[in-house]
Amino acid sequence: MAILIDEKKRVIVQGITGREGMVRARLMLDYGTKLIGGVTPGRGGQVVHDLPVFDSVAEARRALGPIDASVIFVPAPKVKEAALEALHAGVPLLALIADRVPLYDVLEIVEVAAETGARFVGPNTVGVMSPDRAVLGMMGGAAETARTWFRAGPVGIASRSGGLSAAAGYYICRAGIGLSTVVHVGGDAVVGFTLRDAVEEFERDPETEIVVVIGEIGTSQEEQVAEAVVGGSVSKPVIAYIGGRAAQSGTRYSHAGAIIEGGRGTYQHKVEALRRAGIHVVEAFNDIARKVSELLGTRPKGERVHG
């Protein structure tokens, strides 16, 4: 299994006629994603990559049947409109790719998603990838590169960094270990699908044996992962790496979601919380794959890893 996306999920792209949407739709198709159509208002009736284009998500659903996920490739000021349209049409999972989406727009999307029982990844995300199955967004780059770099296996990755998501996956696979799913939750201060959400999803996935969390300074997402472990909703081994160790209060690191305000969101506070919860914290990024190998290597052959 995998979380969020696999080869059976029926996916559309909102903004498919735009330059980015068109390019990324091709990559998703090439990787094996079950892309069934696209939406661009005013472009209904066009065809992109042999896929039908519709004026609205509701129209696409009437013509195509159930839609499991929508990847939204539209400019930041249009993300709220596109996301709410998909949510009201009954799409249960969205990937919001754009960065700089206005905060109040994101909060409105959060509210409507809760009302409709839907989830969204992002904004400011490169997406989600389940190796050898499917990809949402632009995780892994070119399809052929993703096939070469990533393979299926027992490690789930939940990350606040798009670049480090792929890099961690690459080094884990290079060590001879595969991945169940890689989730970039997004780089903004408010995101729909958090690190804790991802870790708890991995807990329920029978194919995921170890979870890797790649965090950063700012927000309390990493502390929430620690709370999940302490509270018992996560029992599988968790390895964590936190970026921004040298950043001081008031420093902006990487992107909007990684800023320290006063004593909140500091590297030290996150690391202390994670270690108190029994999470394996590595101080160097290059130690992630080594720690994964170490934990997997301690089990008897054929026995699953337990926390």
Q: What is the enclosing helix (H) or strand (E) of 201?
A: helix 195-204
User: One of 49, 88, 184, 255 is an active-site residue; which one?
Assistant: 255
For the sheet containing 51-54, what is the strand order? 47-48, 51-54, 34-39, 10-14, 69-72, 93-96, 119-121
| 184 carries an active-site annotation | no
C-alpha to C-alpha distance for 34 and 136, rounded to whole angstroms: 10
Phi–psi pair at 294, nearest 5 degrees? -65, -45
Residue where the block lists tokens 């993703």 = 146
Q: What angle do CA 117, 58, 12 make, to 5 degrees?
A: 80
How buried is 56 (Cβ within 10 angstroms: 0-12 exposed, 13-18 middle, 19+ buried)? middle
C-alpha to C-alpha distance for 237 and 156, rounded to whole angstroms: 11
In single-letter form, the type of residue at position 13 comes to V
Phi–psi pair at 29, nearest 5 degrees? -60, -45
How many whole angstroms from its chain centre is CA 21? Answer: 18
Q: Where are the alpha helices (DSSP H) in 12-161?
A: 19-31, 57-64, 76-88, 103-116, 143-149
What amino acid positions are annotated as catalytic residues? 255
